[in-house]
Amino acid sequence: MKLNLRLSTNGKLTVLKYLVAALLVMIIGSIIILSQGNSPAEAFKALGVGAFGSVSAIGTTIRWATPSIITGISAVIAFKSGIWNVGIEGQMYFGAFVSAVVGYQLLMPRGVHIVVCLLVAGLSGMIFSFIPAILKLLLDVNELISTLMLNYAALLFTEYLTFKYMGFDASELADAIATPDMQPTARLSVLLPRTSATTAIFIAIGIAILVHLLYKYTVKGYELKMVGENLKFSKFGGVNYKSTFLTIFLLSGFIAGMCGGTEMMGTFGKFRPGFATNLGWDGVMIASIAKNNPIAVIFISFIWGALKSGSFHMERVTETNRLVISVLQALFVLLVAIDYEALYKWFCDQKQLRMLRKQESGVQ
């Protein structure tokens, strides 16, 4: 009974922290918008209309929520085990490129073609994630640095591959560099007519649920989580650290690669260098807000998608720059990440220390 009460209290405190963070973000956002000479009420109204005001707006929200869920789950797998894989965007680029090539080169039945494109996308991301994993295991290279640097390598290398092997001349404009259109059999179905929302959203939700079940009900999931929570205990408990570390990295890379595949098979239909607008970093921030909870990632990703969808409409109909929303998103992550309990305890300790010093000085 006490345990349930404690969990309930912790849950209420978490919800309260999110509400306070959201309120502070809205206040700060209003101040920023006012400083630009614009109306916060008009900006926030336009934000809501752009996110949920029409079928097209809802479709755009779903479109942006989809990659946010998948990259968020990729980050959860790594962070939950204490591994800093911030190379999700690079792994996504490789998955996207290979998926686009397979999508236009091979002729297959629709169902088979979609599955094959998803698998090769995941495997490509997994292979690329193998590089920082091996660097960490064999040479003890910090994975935060290696994955961060490999993002740039992936972006430039996939651009080179597209530029080199797709028959484009060096004089072509950068926007013209792209792979040919994928076969119709490799494309995912449109979810809402005349919108960019596709059935990729079901793939994203399915991945999140499977990862949730993996961690909650399987021995392997317990081992993956234990490595992050207590490395020394996991070693004494018989967990093969090197094998588990490699599994975590490869699984995270596989899901990141699948995100690239769904982007090609859904919205884009071809690989174009620079297609991802910080989707990997969105996943990192969403995983941080969700406290590495796969189910929470789903709900937060829809909010994230709504903010992104609404920000485009807000910029069109008001004079407020949509980058204001990006700033507020980052600020929200920062406010949620603060350990308020530890901060409160520190202030109490400082207050008590000052009182003790006063008492000591009074006695003297």
The answer to whether residue 17 sits within a structural domain is no
The answer to whether residue 4 sits within a structural domain is no
The answer to whether residue 29 sits within a structural domain is no
pLDDT value for 167? 56
Q: Which domain holds residue 181?
A: 66-278
The answer to whether residue 24 sits within a structural domain is no
The answer to whether residue 149 sits within a structural domain is yes
Q: 45-81, pLDDT tens digit by residue?
A: 999 999 999 999 999 999 999 999 999 999 999 998 8
**What are 190's strand-pairing partners?**
198
Distance, CA of 339 to CA of 239 (rounded, Å): 30
230-to-132, 222, 291 alpha-carbon distances in Å = 22, 12, 17
For residue 184, how far is the Cα from the chain centroid?
28
Domain count, the chain: 1
pTM: 0.88
For residue 285, what are its two tokens? 């921030």
Return all residues near 162 (Cβ < 8 A) that are at least 6 apart: 97, 168, 177, 178, 179, 271, 272, 273
Helix (H) or strand (E) holding 6: helix 2-35
Torsion of the alpha carbons at 45, 48, 49 and 51, rounded to the nearest 10: 160
For residue 42, what are its two tokens? 């008009």
3-state SS class at 198: strand
- Average pLDDT over the chain, rounded to an integer: 87
The answer to whether residue 165 sits within a structural domain is yes
pLDDT at 239 > cutoff 90: no
Q: Are 310 and 51 in contact (CB under 8 A)?
A: yes
Q: Kindly state the average pLDDT of the residues 99-117.
A: 94
Torsion of the alpha carbons at 245, 251, 255 and 260, rounded to the nearest 10: 80
The answer to whether residue 315 sits within a structural domain is no
Q: 256-290, pLDDT tens digit by residue?
A: 999 999 999 999 999 988 888 789 999 999 999 99
The answer to whether residue 350 sits within a structural domain is no
Nearest partner of 201 among 262, 127, 256, 129, judged by Cα = 262
Q: Is 311 exposed, middle or buried, given 0-12, 13-18 or 19+ CB atoms closer than 10 A?
A: buried
